[in-house]
Each structure stands twice: as C-alpha cells, then as structure tokens.
Amino acid sequence: MKMKALALVASMLAVLSAPVSAQISERTFKVGIGLSEDHPQGLAVKYFGEQLVAKSGGKLKAKLFASGALGNDVTMTAALRGGTQEMTIPEVSTLMSMVRNFGAISMPLTFNNEQEADAVLDGHFGQSLMGKLPEKGLVGLGYWENGFRHITNNRRPITKAEDLAGLKMRVIQSPLYLDTFAALGANAMPMPFTELYSAMEQGAVDGQENPLGLILASKFYEVQKHLVMSRHIYSTWVLLMSKKTWDSLSAQEQKIVQEAAREATLYERKTIRAFNEKALGDLKKAGMQVTELPAAEHAKLRAKLQPVIAKYAKEFGEDSVSEIQAELAKARASSK
C-alpha cells in the first residue's frame, strides 16, 4: 500500500510539474467572416492568430476564411452553435434573436463617441450580456468595432433632418432599422448587402447607411454622391467561439485564447478607427460631398426617433436601456 501511495504521489507531482506546453494540443480554429481579409476585421483575425501561436508555442492557430466563404453571419453563428465551426464575428444584431438585450446596444443615437461605447461594452453591461451566451451554445470573447453608421445618397445633400424625407434607403433586414428610417421620413427598404451596389447603380434605391470604412471598401463613392456624418447608430461585432469548442479546451488553452482575444480586441479597435478616419479623407478625394449635421438638426432627429426608442426599449429590456444610460452618465462625468 505504501508503494502504491508513493507511486500515486509521484504521478501527481509529474502532472503538476509538466511543462505548460504539455497541456496544449495542436489545434486550428476556423474563423469565418463576411468581410475581406484586408479589412481591419480580417487583419485583426490574423493578429489574433499570431497571438495564439506566440502564446501556445505554435500549437494553437487560427485560420481565416474571409468574404463569406463559410456563409453569412446567421449561418456561421448557427454553425458555431452546432459545433461544426469554431469561430466567427457577427454584427451584434445577429444575437438579438437569442438574447434580446443585445439590441439595446444598437438603439439610435445612444453613444456620442467610441470611448463611450468602450466603457459600456467593456463594463458590467457588456460583460453581463456575454454571460448569457454559453446557454445558447456560444462563448463571447470581445466586442470588435464596426463604427458609427452614416448616411449616403445620390439625390441631394443632407443638411437638415427634413432632407431624409422621401429617400429610398436600403437598410439591414432588421425591424429596428426599418422603424428608425421610417420615423425619419425615408422609404426604408430591407436588402441583402450583396445586392446593394447594383441597386444603387441602377437607381432602385437612393442611398444606404454604413460606417465610413465599409463605404470606402465597397466603393460606394462610385454610385453615391452625398455623405452626411449622421452617426445615427453605433455598430459593433462580437468575437465568438463555439461553446463545444471552448469546452474541449484545457484550462491553459482557454486562458491563451482569452488573452489573445483581449489583445486582438484592442488591436482591432485601434485599426478600425484609423481606417475609418483615413476613409473619410479618401471618400472626399473620390468626389463625395460630405456634410455635418448641426447640433440643432441632430436634436430634431432625436425628437423624431423618440417613439422608436420607446418601442424598442420595451422590446430589448427597459432595464438594459437604463443600465446603458447609467454607465454612460458615469463615463461622461469622468471625462469632464
């Protein structure tokens, strides 16, 4: 018995003293995105992969599948839940059908700047939402920025709130977006992104709304003349891993993935912000006429959108909207 006990102790000591690399298996995570590999999102996935390799001694890797090679946000998120794909980075609206509170992030005219968004998403509210994903078969690893959405059109410059009236605007296929633009007097038309360029080229729609970097990368300046810095909705992505994949990782592997994701999140935000800032100058050089809405006109937009905000506060959770506002108040007070 004594010999058996000594053998057991020796075995446990051997496990405890084993090098960290022994707790890491050779793994390659498939990361599917809808954007191109040279977009900041794609660059950040590559950076994430580099961090995995560096922290795991080359055992953990990420393989990027860009430009919708594995499907769209909805199909890839479903693949994660089913365990047939390891990772993806959908727009936050994709998660609303599973956890309705995610919709509160996309409420119109919520954030004034990117730093406010960081404070809310990295704070208690954003992290509490992440905590609801495992029961849906997903693990959230970070919020990646898409950016503030701005309006373009090919009919007239937008200098006041009333100028949006009557414009045929393509919006993403979401009731929130449909109601938002209907409240502003536009003719909101849901349409897949893949059909948008040709629809604008042929005049089927007058305009659209997206962050600056996406407007530039998609060459919308070729078929759109006017851009207004409306900042009407802040758009974010969520870096996701399949819970089935996550549960198959050792504690050491999970720690490495979390650390790599944290560093990649900071890298992505810095990269997308520089990209969007440069995009504005490039769009002007390409011939787009850019206007800024005066504060008084922004106030008119907010007034027009109050019924929409009230409606979706109930749908997404009034507690969630109140918590965001409380965290924003703290962030604004600390920045003064």
Q: What pLDDT, in 10s, does the model give residues 258-306? A: 999 999 999 999 999 999 999 999 999 999 999 999 999 999 999 999 9
* Domain shared by 187 and 260, yes or no: no
* Domain shared by 88 and 30, yes or no: yes
Is 329 contained in some domain? yes
* Domain shared by 97 and 240, yes or no: yes
Q: What's the rounded Cα separation, in Å, for the pair 271 and 259? A: 18
CA atoms 72, 278, 228, 143: torsion sign: positive
Portion of the chain with pLDDT greater than 70, in percent: 93
265: containing domain: 25-102+113-146+236-276
Q: What is the pLDDT of residue 125?
A: 97
Is 286 contained in some domain? yes
Polymer length in residues for the chain: 336
Is 246 contained in some domain? yes
* Domain shared by 181 and 97, yes or no: no
Q: What pLDDT, in 10s, does the model give residues 118-175? A: 999 999 999 999 999 999 999 999 999 999 999 999 999 999 999 999 999 999 888 9
Q: What is the pLDDT of residue 1?
A: 47
* Domain shared by 71 and 170, yes or no: no
The answer to whether the beta carbons of residues 151 and 228 sit under 8 Å apart is yes
What is the mean pLDDT of the segment spanning 29-39?
93
Q: What's the rounded Cα separation, in Å, for the pair 215 and 226? A: 12
* Domain shared by 161 and 297, yes or no: yes
pLDDT reading at 16 higher than 80: no
**Confidence tier at 22 by pLDDT (50, 70, 90):** low
* Domain shared by 118 and 43, yes or no: yes
pLDDT reading at 331 higher than 70: yes
pLDDT reading at 53 higher than 80: yes
CATH number of the domain where residue 285 is located: 3.40.190.170
